[in-house]
Amino acid sequence: AQSVTQLGSHVSVSEGALVLLRCNYSSSVPPYLFWYVQYPNQGLQLLLKYTSAATLVKGINGFEAEFKKSETSFHLTKPSAHMSDAAEYFCAVSDVISGTSYGKLTFGQGTILTVHP
Amino acid sequence: GAGVSQTPSNKVTEKGKYVELRCDPISGHTALYWYRQSLGQGPEFLIYFQGTGAADDSGLPNDRFFAVRPEGSVSTLKIQRTERGDSAVYLCASSVRRDSPLHFGNGTRLTVT
C-alpha cells in the first residue's frame, strides 16, 4: 500500500523567505507524485507533478519540487514567499498502471502555510 | 470555461437520513472521481468512474455509500442512514482521460447532526 507523510502540519515563514514543505512517500513501484494547493473554501489546484521524467519539476506560482528516489522524498520549495501563498498544501502519490497514472491519489495530511509580513 | 460544479455547497442532515450529493464535471471529461476530506485530513479516495461505469469503488467505506453516473456526465453520491461520522467535505474531480490531471470542485460540506 502507498502512503504519504508530510512533516509539519503547520509551517510559518516571513514574506520573502524560503518556503520548504516536506513530503516523504512509500511505494512498491516508481510512483507519480503531485503537490496540490487548497485555498479556503476552494477546491484543490494542481501545483506540479512528477511523472518519471526530469527529477526537478517546476510548477505554477514559482514553486518547484525535486524527486529524490534514495530519500523517497518530494519536497516542495519556493525561493521567496508571498502573502498570497498562504494556503494548505497537499502532497499525493498515484498508482501507476501500465505506465499511466490515473486519479486514484493517496494524499498526505496537509501542511498549512502561514506567511507573515 | 466552467469548472467542476458540486451542489449543494453545504448540507445539514439528521442522523439516519438519506442524502444525495451532485457533481457536474467539466464537459467532455470522461473520468470522474469522488473523494472525502475529513477535518484536518487529506482527501481520501472513494470511487472512480470511467464513462458510465464505476471502474474502482474500493474506497467506499461501506454499503451505505453508493454512486452513479448514468449518462457518463453528472454523478450523484448517495449516502443512506447517515451517521455523524459521515460529516466531511465531499470532493468531486474530473479529468479528460484517466491519465490527465484532475480538476477538483469546491466540494460539498456535509454535516450530520
Confidence at residue B94, expressed as pLDDT on a 0 to 100 scale = 95
**Phi and psi dihedrals of B6, rounded to 5?**
-125, 135
Confidence at residue A96, expressed as pLDDT on a 0 to 100 scale = 66
Average pLDDT over residues B35-39: 95
- Find chain A residues with C-beta within 8 A of B95's C-beta: 103
Confidence at residue A97, expressed as pLDDT on a 0 to 100 scale = 62
The reply to whether residue A43 touches residue B31, judged by beta carbons under 8 angstroms, is: no
The reply to whether residue B98 touches residue A41, judged by beta carbons under 8 angstroms, is: no
CA distances from A23 to A28, B2, B33, B80 (A): 17, 32, 24, 36
Per-window interface: B 61-90 vs A, CB < 8 A: none
Reference A58, options B110, A50, B91, B93; nearest CA is A50
Q: Are B46 and B67 in contact (CB under 8 A)?
A: yes
Confidence at residue B13, expressed as pLDDT on a 0 to 100 scale = 98
- Find chain B residues with C-beta within 8 A of A105's C-beta: 35, 43, 45, 102
Residue of A nearest to B92 (CA): A43
Coil, strand or helix at B85? helix
